[in-house]
Homo-oligomer: A and B are copies of this chain.
């Protein structure tokens, strides 16, 4: 087996049962790809054709707000997935851009492959359900955090969800993720330390 697929195999096996014959069939459809730091994996306006599984590296998912400013939505680290799932499901232009924050190695699950899996894998629909639930929970928490958490609470939640993110990402992206100014972020960091 391609050694780059060992982590995604574990990730998928944590969601569904997949036997060796199914894995042989399914895993032949994966592609792997390397991206350099700052390279774009998905450009907003394009249809998102792949779910990216991060084997190594770090991705940032962002969109443009109504004032034309970048708003960082999510960071995807090793063993996590990255996708504009609405664009992926509905085959509509993406609202998000996905870019590499570090040199990053990903495994690509194409739309065709995922739809094929719904039919061909015994638990393909379950895999789709669990991936969908995973994205639903991310978005649900994001909304709750926007409305119900203070900036300091959001900062604490970010540190719990993305350990070491402050060492891996420039500070202005952290501020953008928290929806606060860089000055406000500095005050929060000083409060913590």
Residues of A within 8 A of B (CB): 63-66, 71, 73, 85-86, 89-90, 95, 118, 123, 125-126, 128-129, 132-133, 135-137, 139-144, 146-150
Report yes or no: B129 in contact with A125, Cβ–Cβ below 8 A: yes
Report yes or no: A86 in contact with B129, Cβ–Cβ below 8 A: no
Contacts of A137 in B (CB 8 A): 86, 89-90
Report yes or no: A140 in contact with B139, Cβ–Cβ below 8 A: yes
Distance (Å) between the CB of A142 and the closest chain B CB? 6
Instruction: Take A125-B129, A128-B129, A132-B133 as given contacts and tell me if A147 and B63 are in contact as well, using a CB distance cutoff of 8 Å.
Output: yes
User: Of the candidates B95, B118, B150, which one forms a contact with A66 in the assembled complex, judged by CB atoms under 8 Å apart?
Assistant: B150
Most buried by B among A90, A140, A147: A140
Q: Per DSSP, are chain A's interface residues mostly helix, strand or loop, or mixed?
A: helix
| Complex CA distance for A80 and B132, rounded to whole angstroms | 19
Distance (Å) between the CB of A139 and the closest chain B CB? 4
Jot down 23 A-B pairs with beta carbons below 8 A, ordered by A.
Answer: A63-B144, A65-B148, A66-B147, A66-B148, A66-B150, A71-B147, A85-B136, A86-B140, A89-B133, A90-B137, A95-B144, A118-B126, A123-B125, A125-B125, A126-B128, A128-B129, A132-B132, A136-B139, A139-B139, A139-B140, A142-B143, A143-B143, A143-B146
Contacts of A136 in B (CB 8 A): 85-86, 89, 132, 135-136, 139
| Complex CA distance for A135 and B129, rounded to whole angstroms | 12
| Complex CA distance for A123 and B147, rounded to whole angstroms | 36
Closest to A147 in B: B65
Distance (Å) between the CB of A138 and the closest chain B CB? 9
Contacts of A144 in B (CB 8 A): 63, 95
